[in-house]
Amino acid sequence: MSEPEITLPEVDLSQPPAENIVRVTFQPEGKTVEFPFDTLPYDGHGLPMSILDVAENYHIFLDHACGGVCACTTCHIHVKAGATGLSEAEDLELDRMDTAPGLQLNSRLGCQAVIEKPGAYVVEIPSWNKNYVQEGKPAAVVKK
> For binding to ligand FES (CB under 6 A), which residues are involved?
64-66, 68, 70-75, 96, 109, 111
Cβ of residue 47: shortest distance to ligand FES, in angstroms?
9
Cβ of residue 65: shortest distance to ligand FES, in angstroms?
6
Cβ of residue 123: shortest distance to ligand FES, in angstroms?
13
Cβ of residue 110: shortest distance to ligand FES, in angstroms?
6
Cβ-based nearer residue to ligand FES, 16 or 101: 101
Cβ-based nearer residue to ligand FES, 75 or 79: 75
Query: What does R_g of the chain's alpha carbons equal in angstroms?
Result: 14
By CB atoms closer than 10 A (0-12, 13-18, 19+), residue 35 is: middle
Contact 116, 50 (CB under 8 A): no
Q: In this structure, how many other beta carbons lie within 10 angstroms of the beta carbon of residue 34?
A: 17
Cβ-based nearer residue to ligand FES, 8 or 71: 71
**Cis before 28? omega within 30:** yes
Contact 70, 96 (CB under 8 A): yes
Cβ-based nearer residue to ligand FES, 22 or 62: 62
